[in-house]
Amino acid sequence: MKKASKRFRAAEAKIEPKRYTISDAVQRVKEAATTKFVESVDIAVRLGVDPKKADQAVRGTVALPHGIGKEVRVLVVAKPPKDEEAKQAGADLVGFKEYLDKIQQGWTDVDVIIATPDVMADLGKLGKILGPRGLMPNPKSGTVTMDIAKAVKEVKAGKIEFRVDKAGIVQASVGKSSFEQEKLVENIHSFLNTVIRLKPSTAKGQYIKSVWISSTMGPGVQIERSELMPH
């Protein structure tokens, strides 16, 4: 097991083994982000669901009010005239056949792929490449649409996609350690509200089991249960 660094141990020592309010947890996380680069602030939500059951595979999108502090590279796969609409909306990369060929060869150097419905038959053949990387467009997340301009603008403004993993945990970035405390708190509330709203009707027992936040290289801080209600 890798030994924790002196910096990490010093940050961990400042965090009491208890649950914090979201505001206090954010303050601790910001104080623990002491690396030379600006760290992301990440959230991990353990859910009381069975991800193996299709009706409990929680997934969705949320437009964080203050974004995640990262430039999101967007590829739009579309044919004319929708390709021009994508360019006007600010997509980084736009095309059809040339990008299908690049992806077929293993290229995936983008953060989000948006596509029109008419190209999904072709794009769907690349599922083995795009699926494991979370890049396959999906109507539920708004990345398969005819309203290309709206989709591009939302993603660029801070709309993120999330899904529960095999362990029943939903993870996402909710900003940067350089954000003002209140902006991180608002982003976290928006994220949690969305996850709570997506509770499957078939999920029994406690839905949200625990919530932790941390910076990229910092220790985790657990959120108080009384904070896990819609705001």
- What pLDDT was estimated at residue 97? 95
Tell me the residue length of the chain. 231
Quote the pTM value: 0.79
- What pLDDT was estimated at residue 99? 97
- What pLDDT was estimated at residue 186? 96
216 CB burial (10 A radius; 0-12, 13-18, 19+):
middle
pLDDT digits (tens, 9 = 90+) for 74-87: 999 999 999 999 99
- What pLDDT was estimated at residue 1? 43
Tokens (6 digits) for 105: 């060869």
- Domains with residue ranges and CATH for the chain: 13-67+160-227 (3.30.190.20), 74-156 (3.40.50.790)
DSSP 46-105: EESS-TTSGGG--EEEEE-TT--SSPPPEEEE--TTHHHHHHHHT-SEEESHHHHHHHHT
Phi, psi of 50 (to 5 degrees): -110, 100
CB 28 within 8 A of CB 222: no
- What pLDDT was estimated at residue 230? 62
pLDDT in 10s for each residue of the chain, 231 residues = 456 677 777 767 777 778 999 999 999 999 988 888 999 999 999 999 999 999 998 988 898 999 999 888 999 999 999 999 999 999 999 999 999 999 999 999 999 999 999 999 999 999 999 998 889 999 988 899 999 999 999 999 888 889 899 999 999 999 999 999 999 999 999 999 999 999 999 988 899 999 999 999 889 999 998 887 765
- Antiparallel, parallel or unpaired: β 221-223 and 208-215: antiparallel
* Residue that has been written with the tokens 């899904």 in this structure: 163
- What pLDDT was estimated at residue 3? 60
